Chains A and B, each alone.
Chain A
């Protein structure tokens, strides 16, 4: 950068290690803002870039991640009847359990990202910083690492890279990872042994089942609360079993505040998703399909996490502002519909979002087409 010689640098194109250009560039621009200046069009540019946008999402996820680590320890203590471990001990146990998930997620995912950027000769996109942070938060803590690695590789290669990388994918890569796990290794993703971290030789104490409150949804409100005496507050605070980051609505709301305040995520999607869930939940209650009040759906399972962090993924959600209202509403509505009418599979959020990811381009197509038609009509009548 500093010297002005005609010879390409060691890692520049044409240099000795030129084939590593993308990798070196990624680390270099990670450390220091690139020295590139504008060559075409606007001579000055906003100081925000994708690195900044992505890091804000990661910051917004930190409360949920930290709480999730503590909760892993807390659930473990509950399950084995340990009442002596203090706050930090509990956190440390969870941290050590979650850390390997992060390592696998980032090493496998970033490895594929770097390799594919290298092959295409492009810069490495920051998108995976977020996906890699999300994945450990939406899987059960006991997921075997090799299965996780396989799922991440599948999601990044077939969910993203084959379409051209971040910005071109139509499915949320983190959710695709979870879907892969769910369909390929259902035993890992359900049952009572997945959600609570155990050491070898430890056994559950009497009365603990290890299943998530959502599993008891079909039994109505009493079924949900019968477990651990789970009350509203536990569901809201998140001291219940579940995927690592999805349990605490408080931590998720903290993230939501950051995302909405910075404008990184769409408030329209969040609001309409909540509205969709409440409406179907209310209809279900009125229609006698369930005794669970509608607002409970906002606290249970992955709904809050999905609404705040997954449905709002700007790449895979609807692109038009009107489309965002429709897209969010349908996610909320579908999620609760699955929960109410499919007792075999209580968690509807993942499939609701993936399904709407698929339909987002269609929603946008309808929105843009009708806007263009309306406008043409207005102009021809004005003329």
Chain B
């Protein structure tokens, strides 16, 4: 059984530097970082000290409110350092990785025969429960709740996103095992969104015991939030969980092999990536371990863990995030072009609007840099945002409600349905250059504070 979701509105951003469908090597990192900041709503308590030995799957962090909620180490090795920021805020736990990863054994499970409590207990114990993201608000899932349904989008439409049909091609059995186990946790079933364009050839088409939705459209059609809003919108009082396909596979491996095996193919992408391709790697690897993909002597580079719209800038000394299967390498655009705003033809600039002529070359890709291309202004244009957001909400009204901190209006205009990433295309096209994702994130923080 499958349902169709055809989305007309959206925007494909023609950023150059897509990863070729090949794997150029395996990254064996010396250090791996576990960053509590990757998990929204997680108040970390350290379970390890410098010098402790850990296995892949050993707990490293626990949540202060919910001590059962653990985050485990993706590698075996020795705790090398605890990194703290201002006010001793815990930023990262660095693990000096063994050359050969040793796994803690959680036992092989048959997901079909498990009860809900057993699934939860296993995920909690292995530190994989925080892979589940709870909406509204996009926070770490609360194990005491029963979600309305669980949603997995198997594809991403974000700029240069990893092609999951390539990266997960060998992991279908694990994916199915995860779907079977998660099905126990919710009465609403597991909803799997697959790309309509490749639906017939996609391995995800064969997933059983799940509700399949064939989705077509431009970015953000691949965002799980957009798909939820077309399947079963999140209303006040609802709770749903979402899971990325990469971490679904990790959960499946845990069930099938008893190991916390977070290995994944990571797409190295972006205009400044040299010979962009995939690598076999782990979450939390240092950016510097990908040195062969960029020119280390170039200074004006930005390293984004994730995609160019919603990823996090981590810097050359930073580490990849827990949820990322992509790194985007961009150039900092600090040049000052003379009279750029009036120049009729700027062949190197992309614009979704017809104010420029890039619509004449729909196939061309652009080495878009990080320049804002203008100063921050009040909202003026009203028609540009809805055209790139395939959701039944009024984006500008929601954004203004967030700016005003008006709880009632935020509720009314759909704050429960969105995460910042869902409005990323609105932010991209905004001629007034507002930081829309940041505004939404602050609105969500206000909601969390006021509604708890």
Contacts and interface: CB of A to CB of B under 8 A. Distances in A.
B337 A43 contact: no
A49 B377 CA distance: 9
Nearest to B309: A42
Interface in A16-51: 25, 29, 31-51
A230 B373 CA distance: 49
Interface string B249-293: 000000000000000000000000000000000000000000000
B332 A319 contact: no
Given A49-B433, A167-B377, A34 B310 contact: no
A41 B420 contact: yes
Contacts of B392: 371, 375
Contacts of B438: 40-41
Interface string B356-393: 10000000000011111111111111110010000010
A266 B372 CA distance: 25
Contacts of A382: 232
B405 interface: no
Contacts of B342: 51-52, 55
A78 B282 CA distance: 82
A321 B383 contact: yes
Nearest to B369: A44
B428 interface: yes
A285 B436 CA distance: 50
B424 interface: yes
Given A32-B338, A262-B353, A43 B372 contact: no
Contacts of A34: 336, 372, 374-375
A314 interface: yes
A150 interface: no
Interface in B390-409: 392, 394, 396-397
A233 B233 CA distance: 56
B431 interface: yes
A246 B353 CA distance: 28
A38 B386 contact: no
A48 B336 contact: no
A358 interface: no
Given A49-B433, A262-B354, A321-B386, A44 B308 contact: yes
Interface string A161-203: 0001111100000000000000000000000000000000000
B183 to A, nearest CB: 20
Interface in B128-161: 159
Contact of A41 (B13, B379, B413, B435): B435
Interface of B is mostly: loop
A55 B341 contact: yes
Contacts of A55: 341-342
Interface size class of B (residues with CB under 8 A): 35 or more
Interface string B298-340: 0000101000111101000000000000001010111111111
B204 interface: no
Contacts of B373: 33, 45-49
Contacts of B310: 41-42
Interface residues of A, number: 57
B15 interface: yes
A264 interface: yes
A266 B383 contact: yes
Interface string B157-169: 0010000000000
Given A48-B355, A314-B381, A372-B412, A53 B396 contact: no
Interface of A is mostly: loop
Contacts of A87: none
A56 interface: yes
Nearest to A51: B341
A42 B427 contact: yes
A119 interface: no
A39 B372 CA distance: 9
B372 A51 contact: no
Contacts, number: 196
Nearest to A264: B355
B371 A37 contact: yes
B351 interface: yes
B346 interface: yes
Given A43-B304, A125-B377, A167-B380, A379 B235 contact: yes
B394 A320 contact: yes
B58 interface: no
A261 B354 contact: yes
A319 B383 CA distance: 7
A32 B336 contact: yes
B352 interface: yes
Contacts of B31: none
B396 A33 contact: no
B309 A319 contact: no
A49 B431 contact: yes
A368 interface: yes
Which of A37, A43, A261 neighbours the largest number of chain B CB atoms within 10 Å of its CB? A43
B337 A32 contact: yes
Interface in B429-447: 429-433, 435-438
Given A36-B375, A166-B380, A43 B311 contact: yes
A376 interface: yes
A320 B330 CA distance: 35
B349 interface: yes
A37 B370 contact: yes
A3 to B, nearest CB: 13
Contact of B355 (A45, A52, A166): A52
Contact of B380 (A35, A38, A50): A50
B39 interface: no
29 contacts: A29-B375, A31-B338, A34-B336, A34-B374, A36-B371, A37-B369, A38-B372, A40-B435, A41-B427, A42-B308, A43-B304, A43-B311, A43-B330, A44-B308, A45-B371, A45-B427, A47-B351, A47-B356, A47-B373, A48-B429, A50-B374, A165-B378, A166-B377, A167-B432, A264-B355, A264-B381, A320-B394, A321-B383, A380-B235
Given A51-B341, A379-B232, 17 more contacts: A32-B340, A37-B332, A41-B424, A41-B437, A42-B310, A42-B437, A45-B430, A46-B352, A46-B428, A48-B431, A49-B431, A50-B377, A164-B378, A262-B355, A263-B355, A319-B382, A372-B412
4 closest A-B pairs by beta carbon, nearest first, are A49-B374, A167-B378, A41-B437, A47-B349
